[in-house]
Every structure is written in C-alpha cells, then in structure tokens.
Amino acid sequence: MKNPTYYVAIFGKPDPPEKDNVESGRYHLGIRGTGIPGERGDIMLLYCTGGYAEHYMSIPGIGIILTKTSDSIYYRYLPLVNPILKDDIDKYLIDEDKKKFSNIRFNSYWLFEISRESFCAATENISIKWP
C-alpha cells in the first residue's frame, strides 16, 4: 500500500460532455496519452474557478481517484459540509504550492500536485458531508 499523492484539480465553467461538473466524478483532461497523473487512491482537492458560478472560487469537495483512461480521471466525490474559500486556501498552501495555485485562470481545467503538508493544512478542520 502506497501513500497517496495529493493534487488540486481545477474546474472552470462546466460544459458537458468535455467539461463535467465537479460532482460528476469525472475529470476530463483531454487526450494526453500516458501522461495523465494520479493513481487509484490518490486524493484531489476539487477547486472551482470564478467561471464556475455554483461553487465560485472554492473547494466544494474532495475526490478520491478510482481509475483513469486516456482522457479522464474518475473519482469518488466527497462533498464538504462547508466549502474551502479561495482566501483560506492561500493561507494553507506552502510557498511552492501557492505559486502553482496563483497561475489559475478563470475557465481553466488542469491538475497539479501539491505537498502532503499543504493538503493536511487545508483540510485539517473540515467535515465531509457523508451520504
């Protein structure tokens, strides 16, 4: 059993079928060959940009990676009781991760790795809304 790798998955404005909503359990990355990051059991903070009106500039949930294909990552969506707001996210990330996060654009869809330290700080006092 390996330790998970942590990511932030950026969701811009949803536009199915290629840009799913955050609750869908599918993160479409487009055709990237074998270069899709993440393995089963890895964990994603699911961040919605300003272009995503329903979850404007917040992390409404966590995704646990289940599987992936050549163009998508499939995950188990775990909604948070209270979303993590962008201003709070900036407080939790270590400097290296903060630099990555500062490059987010209004409607972008991309995925980047963050440290365990940043993930733990961001999620330390949050609760999951279990079904």
pLDDT digits (tens, 9 = 90+) for 54-96: 999 999 999 999 999 888 899 999 999 999 999 898 899 988 9
CATH number of 6-118: 3.10.590
Q: With the C-alpha atoms ordered 54, 58, 64, 66, is the resulting torsion angle positive or negative?
A: positive
pTM: 0.90
Least confident of 10-19, 25-34, 44-53: 25-34
Question: Domain segments of the chain: what residues?
Answer: 6-118
Q: Is the pLDDT of residue 99 over 60?
A: yes
